[in-house]
């Protein structure tokens, strides 16, 4: 440790180069943070999708509704412990560009099904008793500047046949989540409110968009899914059941290779930037070969030379990489989604922060290793002969 000063002086020898190298590495890790957040956004929350939750949609596509009567039949199946359902409402506030991810749900069972939506107890109580009440995610509340108690009119083109003009809602609560990666841009309201209005139109009432249910034992999910689909086979509305994870990941795959192409290109470039930085670090060691020869003449052992050079490269990597990770984490948590609501799940997953930190060490040791080995294997005579 007494050689720390030596390491420091070496770093400060060419301040500009050291500074630039650190900045380059910082940029690479900023990019890394951004990439990981984009990856999380494109996977649409597959990380937080419950493994014990199954989803059931109409076999043809998610836009076809299912009869409400299916609920009771599923509840009777052994191994199903809870059931809820939702309808896509697709509302918007004043302008179609103010899109609100709104759904009509069965309030009580919905909150039980999704404990990750955390609503304060008193707000929850109000909501359950308020027919036209809604609870909304914290991110949506911030984007639209809505507060508890606000009256909010939403227009819904899908349900316009039943109600010409806006649907009135009262914001009863705002949900948040202690879990990262939970979509906080959603708007939930009472299914009963929707259904009542839909009764005016023959054939439009008593249908639900999709069912979600919890299984007692996740290892039986696939079997249960098959059994439930068989129950509704050859009926007017055949079904497709799978784990929530499978649905989310299939849905994310619909974005297709444009997501992976963007990730791949940017990933390659990130490694390229690191390569350039590493090259600069290696070069600074090569320039001082004869100095290292002098140190050896003074009695520094091979191992000590190796560790000196490695300490120098690791110091640069940790400074640059740490700064980059810290900055990207700060930006992502402070500003969130850069597109203003189009990528609801935008965060820097802790697992990826750890991966980034590992990468910093690999970079420090990787770039230092070759010149460090060269330096430690130097014969004093050769080293001193170079000018």
Partner 1 sequence: MNWITQTIAVTGVTLRSISQRVGSSVVAIIGIAGVVIVFTAVLSIAEGFRAAMQGTGDPQTVIVLRSGSDTEMTSGFGGEEANLIAEAPGLERGPEGVHASPELFVIVGHPLKRSGTDANVPLRGVTPAALRVRPKTRIIEGRMFTPGTNEIVVGQAASNQFSGLTVGAPVRWGDSSWQVVGIFDADGSVSESELWCDAKVLQGAYRRGNSYQSVYARLETPDSFQTFKDALTKNPRLNITVIREPDYYSQQSVVLQTVIRTIGFSIAILMALGAIFGALNTMYSAVANRTREIATLRALGFGSSPVVVSVLVEAILLSVVGGIIGGGLAWIAFDGYQTATMNWQSFSQVAFAFAVTPVLLAEGLIFAVIMGFLGGLFPAIRAARLPVVTALRQL
In a 3-state reduction of DSSP, which class is residue 379? Answer: coil
Q: Following CA atoms 229, 232, 233, 234 in sequence, which dihedral angle do they give, to the nearest 10 degrees?
A: -170
Our CB check for partner 1 shows the closer of 94 and 223 to be: 94
Q: Which two tokens stand for residue 154?
A: 């939403």
d(CA 74, CA 78): 9
22/310 with CB nearer partner 1: 22
Smallest separation, CB 66 to partner 1 (Å): 12
Which tokens hold the place of 269? Answer: 């470039």
Q: How near is the Cβ of 127 to partner 1 at its closest, in Å?
A: 27
Is 363:274 a contact under the CB 8 Å cutoff? yes
| Beta pairing, strands 66-67 & 101-105 | unpaired
Cβ 356 to partner 1 shortest distance, Å: 15
For partner 1, the closer of residues 49 and 135 by Cβ is 49
Tell me the closest approach of the beta carbon of residue 146 to partner 1, in angstroms. 22
Nearest-approach distance from CB 266 to partner 1, in angstroms = 5
Cβ-Cβ contacts under 8 Å for 363 (sequence gap 6 or more): 25, 274, 277, 278, 317, 321
Q: How far is the CB of 265 from partner 1 (least distance, A)?
A: 5
Q: Closer to partner 1 at the Cβ: 18 or 376?
A: 18
| CB nearer partner 1, residue 251 or residue 300 | 251
The alpha-carbon radius of gyration of the chain (Å, integer) is 29
Cβ proximity of 209 and 64 under 8 Å = no
Q: How far is the CB of 233 from partner 1 (least distance, A)?
A: 9
Closest among 211, 226, 218 to 83, alpha carbons compared: 211
Cβ closest to partner 1, residue 172 vs residue 244? 244
By the criterion CB under 8 A, which residues form the site for partner 1?
A: 16-17, 20-21, 23-24, 27-28, 30-31, 34-35, 38, 58-64, 90, 96, 155, 157-158, 160-161, 164, 203, 234, 236, 238, 240, 249-250, 253-258, 261-262, 265-266, 268-269, 272-273, 276, 279-280, 338-339, 342-343
CB 173 within 8 A of CB 124: yes
Residue 243 phi/psi, 5-degree rounding, is: -70, 155
- Name which of 8 and 272 has its Cβ closer to partner 1: 272
Minimum CB separation of residue 350 from partner 1 in Å reads 22
Task: At 185, list the tokens.
Answer: 């841009």
In the complex, minimum distance from the CB of residue 65 to partner 1, in angstroms, rounded to a whole number: 10
338 beta partners: none
As given in the structure block, the two tokens for residue 212 are 């979600």
DSSP 51-110: TTEEEEEESS-TTS-EETTHHHHHHTSTTEEEEEEEEE---BSSSTTSB-EEEEE-HHHH
Q: Least distance to partner 1 from the beta carbon of 286, Å?
A: 12
Q: How far is CA 366 from CA 122, 181, 253, 308, 322, in A?
A: 56, 33, 35, 14, 17
Residue 28 dihedral angles phi and psi, to the nearest 5°: -60, -40
- Smaller CB distance to partner 1: residue 96 or 149? 96
Closer of 254 and 334 to partner 1 (Cβ): 254
CB nearer partner 1, residue 242 or residue 384:
242
Instruction: Provide the 8-state DSSP code for 166.
Output: P
Structure token digits, residue 56: 């059931």
């Amino acid at each position: 440790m007494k050689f720390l000063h030596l390491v420091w002086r070496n770093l400060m020898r060419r301040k500009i180069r050291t500074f630039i190298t650190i900045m380059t590495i910082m940029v690479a890790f900023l990019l890394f943070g951004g990439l990981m957040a984009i990856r999380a956004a494109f996977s649409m929350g597959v990380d937080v999708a419950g493994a014990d939750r199954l989803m059931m949609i109409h076999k043809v596509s998610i836009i076809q509704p299912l009869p409400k009567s299916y609920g009771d039949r599923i509840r009777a199946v052994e191994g199903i412990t809870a059931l809820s359902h939702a309808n896509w409402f697709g509302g918007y506030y004043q302008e179609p560009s103010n899109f609100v991810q709104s759904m009509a749900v069965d309030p009580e069972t919905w909150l039980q099904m999704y404990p990750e939506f955390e609503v304060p107890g008193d707000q929850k109580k109000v909501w359950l008793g308020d027919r036209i009440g809604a609870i909304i995610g914290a991110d949506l509340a911030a984007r639209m500047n809505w507060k508890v108690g606000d009256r909010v009119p939403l227009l819904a083109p899908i349900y316009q046949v039943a109600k010409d003009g806006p649907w009135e809602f009262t914001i009863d609560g705002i949900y948040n989540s202690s879990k990262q990666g939970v979509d906080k841009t959603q708007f939930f309201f009472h299914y009963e409110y929707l259904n009542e209005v839909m009764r005016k139109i023959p054939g439009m009432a008593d249908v639900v968009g999709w069912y979600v249910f919890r299984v007692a034992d996740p290892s039986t999910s696939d079997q249960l899914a098959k059994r439930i689909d068989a129950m509704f086979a050859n009926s007017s509305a055949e079904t497709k059941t799978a784990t929530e994870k499978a649905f989310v990941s299939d849905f994310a795959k619909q974005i297709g290779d444009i997501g992976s192409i963007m990730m791949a290109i940017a990933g390659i470039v990130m490694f390229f930037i690191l390569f350039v930085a590493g090259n600069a670090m290696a070069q600074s060691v090569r320039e001082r070969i004869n100095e290292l020869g002098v140190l050896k003449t003074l009695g520094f052992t091979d191992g000590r030379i190796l560790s000196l050079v490695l300490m120098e490269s690791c110091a640069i990597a940790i400074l640059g990489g740490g700064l980059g990770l810290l900055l990207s984490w700060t930006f992502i948590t402070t500003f969130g989604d850069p597109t203003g609501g189009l990528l609801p799940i935008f965060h820097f997953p802790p697992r990826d922060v750890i991966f980034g930190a590992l990468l910093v060490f690999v970079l420090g040791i990787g770039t230092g290793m070759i010149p460090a080995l060269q330096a430690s294997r130097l014969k004093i005579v050769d080293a001193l002969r170079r000018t």
